[in-house]
Structure 1
């Protein structure tokens, strides 16, 4: 992966780590460009796997994570982040939701989601992703970006179809946690891509409207995969959010 020079000095998390949750068919590669730009003292990336519901996975993560942390989730990771908020809001120093849909999944989507897992297993997850999801994943002017395409396909292949099957069940069974957002008093950052056709502006606004201390940000040159499409802009927003969250905690 290309090494980037961070535009920022090291940001001390003050012993409160930043935890980053990836999306469907994503691993640590999703966050690497953001981390290199962000330059924080303590960060942990987590692949969403090991359970077939957001509730079960959140319980597993909360059992091993530090008592207090900043939490940022992308796409499916944002769904898990909202579940973690619902279960243990006192553990979160701040919450960032990237490419988020805070609503329950429509029951009619379940069959299509499970069929997609079967199709990916038959044709190979990389080939399946390229044919079905890639055209919807990024902004139109990034569709010919071979390096970006390669990274997203590589992550999918490294995750594999077993992980995809578990992640699909998490998406199907997710809960609407806007009530938990409305009760959360720490800073909430919601970032969306202007060209995201998966998690739309309406979805992002639903999250922003629910949280009393939410700030919404739309990245004009990004689609769904904004951590890879606009890593420096994401890093800048996350850095500001961490600093805001820290100062809010100090003044509380």
Structure 2
């Protein structure tokens, strides 16, 4: 892609996240040294009843040709978009996500969690143990980062959380599709991600022909918030391919 080309990029957030997930990285993307120009499309994934439903929404609202950036749940949507319309995707960046379907045990846990959350009098998006597994220890008590996570969870709320849990629980298995991905692809994950094991992410990266992959020290599940400059540089390097 030349510096004069404007690249449309769909940003697909994780569960209980919205466009605020990308805010810290945007200054680094906008002022990138390569002079790349891009038009961000921040995808709202609050209303989708399934991963397929969200994928269809993205395909309807995006231009004919665009790049995908999918973090966690957004990565599942990116895989589904690639399955449905591979010819429309120019580049794909997968961040702290995986390609395999949910196991039967995990699927039951998610469905049960959604039912329990609906019955609780007060909804809290993130508890202590979840944050312990999601964030690098150095970031675990970073006030500004925690505020972003809490604000996103509070504004999206209980119904979105339950709907997203069910959508993730019932997602398809994309592992067999990886060998057919021929576009430039970059896989990035935080070294301290305890939500999605790095081994699964590395295996996914190795199955995609010619994919580049990057493990980020000092970050966990939320690389765009924990390491925004590294995230931005990875995206710009991908779009320049």
TM-score of the superposition, structure 2-length normalised?
0.91
1:142 is matched with which residue? 139
Offset, 1:82: 0.5
Who is 1:27 aligned against?
Answer: 18
Which one of the candidate residues 205, 211, 216 is aligned to 2:213? 216
2 CA distance for matches of 1:229 and 1:120?
A: 27
SS of the equivalent of 1:93 reads strand
> Which of 47, 50, 54 pairs up with 2:47?
50
Q: 1:22 & 1:12 partners in 2: Cα distance? A: 26
Q: Give, in whole Å, the separation in 2 of the partners of 1:185 and 1:229.
A: 30
1:102/1:206 contact within 8 Å kept: no
Deviation at 1:115, TM superposition (A): 3.3
| Cross-structure match for 1:17 | 8
Matched, 1:124 2:122: yes
Segments of 5+ residues of structure 2 without an aligned counterpart are 31-36
Q: How far apart, CA to CA, are the structure 2 residues paired with 1:13 and 1:160?
A: 40
Matched, 1:79 2:76: yes
**Residue deviations 1:136-175, cap 9 Å, x none?**
1100121121221111011111111111122112211111
1:38 is aligned to 29
SS at match of 2:15: coil
- What pairs with 1:150-169 in structure 2 (closer than 5 Å)? 150-169=147-166
Distance (Å, rounded) in 2 between the aligned partners of 1:185 and 1:137: 31
What is the root-mean-square deviation in Å for CA atoms of aligned residues? Answer: 1.7
How far does the alpha carbon of each residue in 1:176-232 deviate from its partner, in whole angstroms, 9 at most, with x for none? 213322112111100001101111211111211221021110001100111100000
C-alpha contact 2:75 2:95 (8 A) present in aligned 1 = yes
Equivalent position to 2:192, from 184, 191, 195? 195
Q: In the TM superposition, what is the alpha-carbon distance from 1:13 to its structure 2 partner?
A: 7.1
The Cα offsets for residues 98-126 of structure 1, whole Å up to 9 and x where unpaired, read as: 00121110111233223333444425333
Q: Is the 8 A contact 1:19 1:71 kept in 2?
A: yes
d(CA) in 1 for partners of 2:175, 2:16: 25
Is the 8 Å Cα contact of residues 22 and 75 (structure 1) preserved in structure 2? Answer: yes
Aligned twin of 2:181: 184
**TM-score, length of structure 1 as denominator length:** 0.87
> How many pairs align?
233
Is the contact between residue 18 and residue 70 of structure 1 (CA under 8 Å) also seen in structure 2? yes
Displacement, 1:240?
0.4
